[in-house]
Amino acid sequence: MKPRIKIVLLLVGFICIILLSIVATTLLALVGSSTTTIYINPPEIVDPAIQPYDTISVFVMLDNIVNMKTCEFNLTFSPEILSIEQIDILELQGQYPQANMHFDDTKGYIWIKMSYQNPQTISNGNSFVEIEFYVMDYGSTDLHFESTSLIDASEQPISHETNDGFVWILKRNIIVQNIWIPYNETYVERIVSVNVTVLNDGDLLENFTVTLFADNQVVATIILSLPSGEETLLEFFWNTSEASPSLQPYVIRAEASTVPYETDVSDNTLIDGEIMLKIVGDINGDGNVDIDDLIEWDNAYGSQPGDPNWDEQADINFDEIVNKADAELILEHYRETI
């Protein structure tokens, strides 16, 4: 065989293989796309903007069906999450069916049977029922086809598949649960540790800030990322040397920033605890450093935590013993007053 003829035959064979591959791919696509399907559109509703008391709508759709005379389905859902607001039977290719339906909000189902005078043949997706739901509460639910039936004009069942829908009403909520301060009075210049417990009571990981206030003064802000359902303990350090001594206690407040679509913001703020800041040496907290404070110091002299005469306020330098060093601080601030 001549070389030129061999080359031509090889090219023809190669072209035939390519054509066969294209034809096979096309046939597979046609077979795959010919499956009759009844499904929910949109298939998922997961939108944090949707909240309880809103309404949402879904469509029941048909794909690739030939000579359909009757369609019947039972769709179930969680009645704790959704309730039925309205059901509309839609025109399908210029024809409204004869329809029967029954639904129950307390049990969570919708049953509909539709019969068409002229059998329906559909290649692409067509909506034939619209369901409007009222959102009852946070949570998720399937829109599940519990049973379906498609019958053709010869009273024969039409083989088909179903695709359920899914609705998730997202909850987003940050709660400041607790504030703990170690004492209710101390001296300016002390660094006070304040613990704040925060809970992410929502469904998503949240990024937010928590700010601690003493009256209207910002003590500190912490930026955090907290997974769904988790709580965390935050420790703030208040340098009281930046505050003024006062006979009125400072009110401690913690505020969590609002996350997007958070509807209940009342629990983002917690006021819990007071602390009075005194002049250094003002043991009895009357706003003056005088002889009365020296008497208080003398009564507690030599004591340590656990002793019967222990007085935490007499331990002015916070070394857990009342001694001469504390008296020196009293004398250093003697006759100071608010």
DSSP symbols for 187-239: ETTPEEEEEEEEEE-SSS-EEEEEEEEETTEEEEEEEEEE-TT-EEEEEEEEE
Q: How far apart, in whole angstroms, are the C-alpha atoms of residue 69 and residue 62?
A: 13
Q: How far apart, in whole angstroms, are the C-alpha atoms of residue 300 and residue 322?
A: 6
Tokens 């519990």 found at = 146
Tokens 């068409």 found at = 116
pLDDT of residue 37: 97
Are 227 and 193 spatial neighbours (Cβ–Cβ below 8 Å)? no
Q: Is the pLDDT of residue 48 over 50?
A: yes
* CATH class of the domain whose range is 36-169: mainly beta
Which of 26-30, 105-109, 185-189, 194-198 is predicted with the least confidence, judged by mean pLDDT?
26-30
Domain locations in the chain as residue ranges: 36-169, 171-278, 281-338
Q: How far apart, in whole angstroms, are the C-alpha atoms of residue 238 and residue 213?
A: 9
pLDDT of residue 123: 87
User: For residue 42, is the peptide bond before it cis, meaning its omega torsion is within 30 degrees of 0?
Assistant: yes
2 pLDDT band, cuts 50/70/90, is: very low
pLDDT of residue 253: 98
Q: Is the pLDDT of residue 21 over 70?
A: no
Of 90, 186, 87, residue with least CA distance to 143:
87
Residues 263, 265, 269: CA angle, nearest 5 degrees? 170
Alpha-helical runs (H) found in the chain: 3-33, 291-300, 324-332
Which pTM was predicted? Answer: 0.76
140 pLDDT band, cuts 50/70/90, is: very high
Q: What percent of the chain has pLDDT over 70?
A: 90
Are 255 and 268 spatial neighbours (Cβ–Cβ below 8 Å)? yes
pLDDT of residue 29: 41
Q: Please, what is the angle between helix 291-300 and helix 324-332, to 10°?
A: 170
Q: How far apart, in whole angstroms, are the C-alpha atoms of residue 149 and residue 159?
A: 9
Look up residue 300 and give its two tokens: 């507690």
Q: What is the DSSP letter of 257?
A: P
151 pLDDT band, cuts 50/70/90, is: very high
In what helix (H) or strand (E) does residue 103 lie, and over which residues does it extend?
Answer: strand 98-104
- The SS3 of residue 314 is helix
Look up residue 27 and give its two tokens: 């046939």
pLDDT of residue 125: 87
* CATH class of the domain whose range is 281-338: mainly alpha
| Widest distance between CA atoms in the chain | 127
pLDDT in tens, 102-125: 999 999 999 999 999 999 999 888
The alpha carbon of residue 58 and the mean position of all alpha carbons in its chain are separated, in whole angstroms, by: 23
pLDDT of residue 6: 46
180 pLDDT band, cuts 50/70/90, is: very high
The alpha carbon of residue 155 and the mean position of all alpha carbons in its chain are separated, in whole angstroms, by: 49
pLDDT in tens, 200-249: 999 999 999 999 999 999 999 999 999 999 999 999 999 998 899 999 99
pLDDT in tens, 258-281: 999 998 999 999 999 999 999 999
Question: In the beta sheet, which residues pair with residue 111?
Answer: 74, 102
Question: In the beta sheet, which residues pair with residue 141?
Answer: 167
DSSP-based helix, strand, coil % in the chain, nearest 5: 15, 45, 35
Over residues 33-43, mean pLDDT: 91
Q: How far apart, in whole angstroms, are the C-alpha atoms of residue 97 and residue 91?
A: 8
34 pLDDT band, cuts 50/70/90, is: confident
17 compared with 311, residue with greater pLDDT: 311
Same CATH topology for 36-169 and 171-278: the answer is yes
Of 162, 146, 165, 163, residue with least CA distance to 82:
165
Phi–psi pair at 126, nearest 5 degrees: -130, 135
Radius of gyration in angstroms for the set of CA atoms belonging to the chain, rounded to a whole number:
38
Architecture of domain 171-278: Sandwich (2.60)
19 pLDDT band, cuts 50/70/90, is: very low
Are 74 and 60 spatial neighbours (Cβ–Cβ below 8 Å)? no
